[in-house]
Structure 1
């Protein structure tokens, strides 16, 4: 009868079993981190990444460097004069624009509304009310679609059509036109697009705080995201045309006021930065 080594039939020792469990846990953890970390960075990009984007694409506005306030994201320390942020609202106008404007007025806040041209018809008076209320209008092309996929000729035509609506709004209320700001649909741009919109007199505006509110219809959750990310010089991105935007802002605005922030337009933020270590000059020199 053949003989087999006894070790083939021995159960794993306690030490060997622990070692295998440890390595299995490490592999599982690394696997989870490999898949989860990129999504987390997209959802909640660290300020260093935003600063890198601003350095890498200086003609695109991500955030605005202010003076040396000491506040960190979610904190409350810092110089009050530096606590200025821009609120931007995409996909305007809609049936919710008036409610958003009234809420902003109640907290002394202003915003830049990025206009989709295909939504303007029948809401011209609403756009005029926004401008009268101290808000400003930016260009968000004609349709809710990725602007990066448009041909150069189509993008130019859409920008000019929306520009005509914006100019008509300011002319109707006899208020000087603001600088030309463009936010590409879906937030993606290309080198070709950057050059094209620059030649048309526009500056691309993205942002540094984005709660992904079109995809996440939970006001409290989105409000916590904004409040955990905001810092002096931030540009907040949120959206019109959703019923959960007003409830979200009802949580965000009083807390920002309590922290001493002034919520303003993109132009207001750039004006606040003027003279603070030449922030505006550095940004404008790239356009």
Structure 2
């Protein structure tokens, strides 16, 4: 591929095999991957974003400072290897990358789920609004494991009346510190006097330790979500066990440094997938599988207002709600979803607490964590 004009821009776009030409330092850069990695550069953000919208391959948009502003895996790239290759390429001076799978498996680069076909989000939104309920969502949780905690039945546990638990998956941030929205989330929760359980991907803890320590000091809670965002069903039992142990170790270290103890060691399997062997390992580690009964499929439904309204109306006394962590350039709509959710719950006089606090209100003690339980306790 050769050079082409960038419309009104004086700068010409470099569309060539990497390493054959150098990119200018103070330009907007758009990378995409077909059979190999390509990079284009632009003088203005408007031109770069316009070109970004044209492409349907896996792609990454970066500002002149090298920050990732947007990224998306193509429909034909379900494993997210394209975006991973582009992120590796950017780190290595915008060169080509033979394989990104090893780095992706280790969590050295972010896994970005593939986009859906156009209209999928809107279609699923219509279906979800009609069929998703406490019973259907918690049924899925029970399929993950018979030991899954999905909600507390207020009829059996009157102490949870007026309370719901908020859990946030894939914390803290997979794209790096500059893309973190942890400060915005902390501020929003503080404004609404809400507490949350953040389910951590352990691989990304080191770059965000100070923010996570502040979360703990502010009364929030941390849970184990594995090391990286992938299904461990295809992994060996040892790899899964090592991932669980390492994430637990990092959480324990954060608690020690923050001077905060954790009464309820929660675990939520990435992608909601757990084999019988994996469930046995979780049980041996004395972890409690934490699922949910209130969920708006926010990775696919990209309408923050719908997400917040749906969660806000579906949540019941004793509910455990799930929303995903927003990042700059990835799932940003979840911030609006959380804003809308907290507003609706406030109007309903529902108090938002951690999963651990909800368990205490239900009359649980930490000793119960290692025991088998029913779907709704």
Distance 1:171 1:189 in 2: 29
Matches within 5 A, 1:110-189: 110-189=195-274
> 1:45 maps to which residue?
132
**Structure 1 residues 89 and 52, CA gap change in structure 2 (3 angstroms):** closer
Task: Answer whether contact 1:54 1:63 (CA < 8 A) is retained.
Answer: no
**Structure 1 residues 159 and 168, CA gap change in structure 2 (3 angstroms):** same
**Structure 1 residues 53 and 66, CA gap change in structure 2 (3 angstroms):** farther
How far 1:53 moved relative to its partner?
6.0
Which structure is larger by alpha-carbon Rg, 1 or 2? 1
How far 1:177 moved relative to its partner?
2.4
How far 1:224 moved relative to its partner?
2.0
Normalised to the residue count of structure 2, the TM-score between the two structures is 0.57
> 2:151 maps to which residue?
63
Stretches of structure 2 that go unaligned for 5 or more consecutive residues are 1-122, 174-179
Distance 1:64 1:116 in 2: 26
Task: Answer whether contact 1:220 1:248 (CA < 8 A) is retained.
Answer: yes
Distance 1:172 1:254 in 2: 33
Task: Answer whether contact 1:84 1:262 (CA < 8 A) is retained.
Answer: yes
Residue 286, structure 1, aligned to residue 375, structure 2:
no
Q: Which protein has greater RCO, CA pairs closer than 8 Å, 6+ apart?
A: 1
Candidates 279, 282, 291, aligned match of 1:197: 282
Distance 1:121 1:55 in 2: 33
Distance 2:136 2:304 in 1: 26
Task: Answer whether contact 1:53 1:62 (CA < 8 A) is retained.
Answer: no
Distance 2:131 2:159 in 1: 25
How far 1:99 moved relative to its partner?
1.0
How far 1:126 moved relative to its partner?
0.9
> 1:93 maps to which residue?
172
Matches within 5 A, 1:227-242: 227-240=312-325, 241=327, 242=331
**Structure 1 residues 270 and 284, CA gap change in structure 2 (3 angstroms):** farther
Distance 2:142 2:301 in 1: 30
How far 1:139 moved relative to its partner?
0.5
Residue 102, structure 1, aligned to residue 187, structure 2:
yes
Q: Secondary structure at the match of 1:123?
A: helix
Residues 193-251 of structure 1: per-residue CA shift (max 9 Å, x gap): 22210001111111111111112221111112212311111111111133222211111
Distance 1:182 1:220 in 2: 28
Aligned-residue CA RMSD (Å): 2.9
> 1:253 maps to which residue?
342
Q: Secondary structure at the match of 2:164?
A: strand
Residue 82, structure 1, aligned to residue 167, structure 2:
no
Q: Secondary structure at the match of 2:207?
A: coil
Stretches of structure 1 that go unaligned for 5 or more consecutive residues are 1-35, 70-78
Task: Answer whether contact 1:86 1:234 (CA < 8 A) is retained.
Answer: yes
Task: Answer whether contact 2:266 2:289 (CA < 8 A) is retained.
Answer: yes
